[in-house]
Homo-oligomer: A and B are copies of this chain.
Amino acid sequence: MIHLDRASDIALTDQIVTQLAGLVQDGQLPPGTRLPSIRKLAATLSVSAATVVGAYDRLAARGLIEARAASGYFVSARRTALPLPAVAAPAGPGLDAIALMRNMLERRPGVAHVGSGFLPESWLEDMLSARLLARVARKGAKSYARPGTPAGYAPLRQQIALQLGFAGIAAAPDQVLLTFGATHGAEILCRALLAPGDVVAVEEPGYFALFAQLRGMGVKMLAVPRTPQGPDLSVLASVCDTFRPKLLFTQTLLHNPTGSSTDAATAFHMLDLARRYDFRIVEDDVYGDLHPVANPLRLAQVDRFERVIFLGSYSKVLSPSIRVGYMVCAPALVPLFLEQKLLGVLATSEFDERLVYELLASGAYRKHIERVRERLLHNRAKVVLGLAQAGLQPTLETEGGLFVWAGLPENVDLPLLIEHAAQHGWMLTPGDAFFLRHAERPYLRFNAAASLDSKLFDYLRTTLPSFARGAGAAAPGSAAIAARAPGA
């Protein structure tokens, strides 16, 4: 009953599995049927015994057949179907941070994530070739049976220390702790340094996932407005004076979402305040490598980890599927952070760490980054222009990077626009998510690598006017309201 196609690309084992599975599922081989012995089926099909063994093993792993000791293979009794509730509805296009995080990760066909925080797949494919991945996996094979070191794959920690050195940041490999990404790094340092009720300062607008993380830990956040030169120093000083925050979270380079970078004067002043009011600064550098200038100023370069805890990641510039980040800190903090890493996840994943090491050490990462920077510069200019022509006001005080932060006309009803856009294939990232309370006006964050699309600009230009509060009843805004389920 089995016909093998020897000219096919599909392995013979897989052909046997598919056809036998079909016969079992159709009921042509009912439960209890004894299957031919391995030797017999191999002879009948003119394949090796190993091919049949592989097929039977795969069918057994799917629960379709079972081996009975000393009597051969049998079709399994039909099992009661497992409860299969419908897949949870994907998060809606709302303003909730968790929903936004899910939207960052979950992709649906026909929806363009024009506000994403990651590079598009097509920008990464030549970077992560099947050949490279196979080579890394093969090289590490022996080590995957061993526990890794708690701090993470040592050659990668050395390489990161070296690259930081190139950027003027003096750090020993022992000060570098590998994490599952910058989010994980923030988690570790907060667990080590903060208790519920503690006060921290954050930039506003700022990264919504950080806000959600801190809120989840019961930490009180004080907003310091982000200016094009960095955090607003007078607000920061008064916040310090009144509330004595324990930490300040900041993105020196290519701030998310505004795209600005802190200038030298502001940076020095921040470090001065940190010393004066005895707080630490968490410098989140996940986008720093995309900065178009060679060796831009980072706080860690000046401070040398006296006050600064530095968070890096390869998820943003390589791929969100590669869960490798790092934290760099004063030697005295290393054991505290290591302890939190052990308690939370025990260890990180050596395959991913070897992959990043290979990319860094071969120079492939540097070339990738150079290419990405160039493409971004090119794209950004056009996206900014396209958005401006569509009636938005993109921020111009940026030096490059992934994000275009664009204001909308004051009277636009942002939630309605977001919902309408989602129905038309555009997943927009609403500005309100980047504020602790309300944005002073409606904003959208665009990904310069993912937004260069005249259809997007056309959509915004033609649709925006109808989402002005008080626009006529025939406008798509009202249509969207009408289309919602009652009570939604």
Interface residues, chain A, with chain B CB atoms under 8 Å away: 54, 57-58, 60-63, 79, 82-85, 87-88, 98, 101-102, 104-107, 118, 121, 124-125, 127-131, 133-138, 140-150, 159, 161-162, 165-166, 170-174, 180-181, 183-184, 187, 191, 196, 209, 212-213, 216, 315, 319-323, 331, 334-335, 338-340, 342-352, 355, 360-367
Contact = CB atoms under 8 A, between A and B. Distances in A.
A366 B61 contact: yes
Contact of A149 (B54, B106, B161): B106
A12 B196 CA distance: 57
Given A105-B347, A144-B321, A367-B57, A138 B149 contact: no
Given A58-B362, A323-B347, A141 B166 contact: no
A343 to B, nearest CB: 5
A106 B146 contact: no
A82 to B, nearest CB: 5
Given A187-B344, A343-B187, A362-B54, A138 B134 contact: yes
A63 B134 contact: no
A118 B138 CA distance: 23
A162 B342 contact: no
Given A134-B134, A138-B133, A63 B166 contact: yes
The interface residues of chain A, by DSSP majority, are classed as helix
Given A88-B334, A107-B146, A216-B340, A141 B124 contact: no
Contacts of A149: 105-106
Given A61-B361, A165-B79, A196-B196, A128 B141 contact: yes
B216 A143 contact: no
Contacts of A361: 58, 61-62
A342 B170 contact: no
A176 to B, nearest CB: 11
A321 B143 contact: yes
A363 B58 contact: yes
A272 B189 CA distance: 40
A79 B169 CA distance: 12
18 contacts: A60-B363, A61-B361, A61-B362, A63-B166, A82-B161, A84-B173, A85-B172, A85-B174, A85-B331, A105-B148, A105-B149, A105-B150, A125-B145, A146-B319, A181-B346, A323-B347, A349-B349, A352-B352
A136 B136 CA distance: 11
A319 B144 contact: yes
A60 B369 CA distance: 15
Nearest to A179: B345
A130 B139 CA distance: 7
Given A105-B346, A349-B349, 10 more contacts: A57-B366, A63-B165, A85-B174, A98-B339, A105-B147, A180-B345, A180-B349, A321-B350, A322-B349, A352-B352
Given A145-B124, A321-B145, A360-B61, A346 B101 contact: yes
A4 to B, nearest CB: 19
B345 A101 contact: no
A118 B105 contact: no
